[in-house]
């Protein structure tokens, strides 16, 4: 059978067009923006590790790691569709779900879904030795950095001070600074103390403790009990920081990895699975990664678990 030249040409054009249309689908990429925190905190190095894990192990995925002001900003960005996975403190997550305006949420963030609970943030109040600050009461009239404005750390600062019978008005000066900037002021004798809500061994406080004498200020259990859930009593073990030779009682709040309902079930499943299949890599990125446990990941979330995460936890027998 013979075909005319014009028919052959037309057929070729149709086939070429079909290939062009099919090519983007074949190469279609998912995009994962990992929302973290300041570069001197714990969220950022763990986020960098997660971005690499996803980029290496999820086919056709492009990743980006974004430094942010942490919990509150991260949750707002998720709601706006400007991120696929984020770190957030449990109290901030609860406030976002309830739409608590004082915490920085003008409306209820109803698109939030949890990937899983990860490690506890420890409230770490560290003062320069020369400031004379040894207890929470000693903060009265002194200068304190409480974290970036309306960050998870700053919300923790308000809660701790209130439970101790104080407010910002009782302080001599309040600085709203990220971790590294707070430490720089302390080194320059321009700040008495900093409250940092982070995993143990946060880089900024390690840096401070090796450069000048410090005091790690206790948060007594009775103060923690006044706040209640999601705060729990905890211990900063001796020698976490240079010169800290005793265990120090404090408060802890669980961190969560959070996504949104806009993320597909399949992608959320892969993101959850790879977190718990890559725990050694996360532990290498930061010591806080050693505290992430599959057994407790699906417990007590302030917002619903993502269906993709639920699928993984059911596979592993964590959920029935």
Cα–Cα distance between 106 and 291 in angstroms, integer?
33
Q: Residue 269 domain-assigned?
A: yes
Q: Provide the 8-state DSSP code for 243.
A: T
Helix, strand, or coil (residue 25): helix
Shared domain check, 235 and 186: yes
Residues 209 and 270 reside in one and the same domain: no
Residue 223, classified by CB atoms within 10 Å of its CB into exposed (0-12), middle (13-18) or buried (19+), is buried
| Residue 17 covered by a domain | no
Does 7 map to a domain? no
How does DSSP assign 184-225, residue by residue?
A: HHHHTTS-SEEEEEESTT-HHHHHHHHHS-EEEEP--HHHHH
Same domain, 171 and 47: no
Give the residue from 201, 233, 253 where a domain finishes.
Answer: 253
Residues 272 and 209 in one domain: no
Domain membership flag for residue 3? no
Query: Does some domain include residue 11?
Result: no
Query: Are 248 and 263 found together in one domain?
Result: no
Report how many domains make up the chain: 2
Within a domain: 40: yes
In this predicted structure, what is the pLDDT of residue 226?
95
Any domain includes 21: no
- Please give the backbone phi and psi of residue 31, each rounded to the nearest 5 degrees, phi first: -120, 130
Say if residue 219 is in the same domain as residue 271. Answer: no
Q: CA-CA distance, 304 to 113, in Å (whole number)?
A: 5
Closest CA to 145 of 83, 188, 196: 196
- pLDDT on residue 28: 57
Together in a domain, 193 and 166: yes
Last residue of a domain, one of 225, 253, 281: 253
Strands (E) in the chain, as ranges, are 30-35, 61-66, 85-89, 112-128, 143-145, 173-175, 193-198, 214-217, 231-236, 248-260
Among 213, 228, 253, residue at a domain's last position: 253
Q: Does any domain span residue 10?
A: no
Domain residue limits at 217: 121-253
DSSP, res 88 = E
176 and 286 share one domain: no
What CATH number is associated with residue 137?
A: 3.40.190.10
**Could you tell me if 103 and 185 lie in one domain?**
no
Among residues 280, 232, 274, the alpha carbon closest in space to that of 253 is found at 232
Strand 231-236 and strand 248-260: pairing? antiparallel
126 and 232 both lie in a single domain = yes
> For residues 63 and 31, what is the distance between their CA atoms, to the nearest angstrom?
6
10-residue stretch averages of pLDDT, the chain, 320 residues long: 45 43 50 94 95 97 96 96 96 94 93 96 96 98 92 91 97 95 96 94 94 97 91 95 97 96 98 98 94 93 96 96
Residues 114 and 260 in one domain: yes
Q: Are residues 241 and 132 in the same domain?
A: yes
Query: What local confidence, expressed as pLDDT, does residue 299 receive?
Result: 87
* DSSP summary character for residue 171: B
């Amino acid at each position: 059978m013979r075909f005319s030249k014009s028919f052959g040409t037309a057929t070729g054009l149709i086939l070429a067009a079909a290939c062009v249309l099919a090519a983007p689908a074949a190469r279609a990429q998912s995009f994962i923006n990992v929302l973290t925190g300041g570069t001197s905190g714990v969220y950022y190095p763990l986020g960098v590790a997660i971005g690499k894990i996803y980029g290496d192990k999820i086919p056709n995925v492009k990743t980006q790691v974004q430094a942010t002001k942490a919990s509150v900003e991260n949750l707002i960005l998720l709601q706006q569709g400007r991120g696929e996975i984020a770190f957030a403190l449990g109290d901030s997550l609860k406030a976002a779900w309830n739409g608590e305006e004082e915490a920085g949420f003008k409306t209820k963030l109803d698109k939030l879904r949890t990937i899983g609970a990860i490690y506890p943030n420890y409230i770490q109040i560290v003062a320069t030795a020369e400031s004379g600050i040894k207890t929470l009461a000693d903060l009265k009239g002194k200068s304190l950095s409480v974290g970036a404005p309306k960050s998870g750390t700053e919300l923790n600062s308000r809660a701790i001070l209130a439970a101790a019978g104080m407010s910002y008005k009782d302080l001599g000066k309040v600085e709203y600074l990220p971790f590294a900037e707070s430490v720089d002021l302390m080194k320059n004798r321009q700040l008495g103390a900093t409250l940092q809500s982070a995993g143990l061994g946060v880089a900024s406080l390690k840096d401070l403790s090796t450069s000048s004498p410090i005091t790690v200020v206790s948060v007594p259990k009775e103060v923690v009990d006044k706040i209640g859930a999601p705060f729990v009593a905890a211990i900063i073990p001796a020698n976490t920081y240079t010169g800290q030779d005793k265990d120090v009682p404090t408060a802890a709040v669980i961190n969560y990895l959070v996504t949104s309902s806009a993320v597909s079930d399949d992608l959320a499943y892969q993101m959850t699975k790879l977190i718990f299949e890559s725990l050694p890599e996360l532990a290498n990125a930061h010591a806080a990664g050693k505290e992430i446990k599959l057994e407790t990941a699906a417990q007590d979330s302030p917002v619903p678990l993502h269906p993709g995460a639920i699928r993984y936890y059911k596979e592993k027998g964590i959920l029935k």
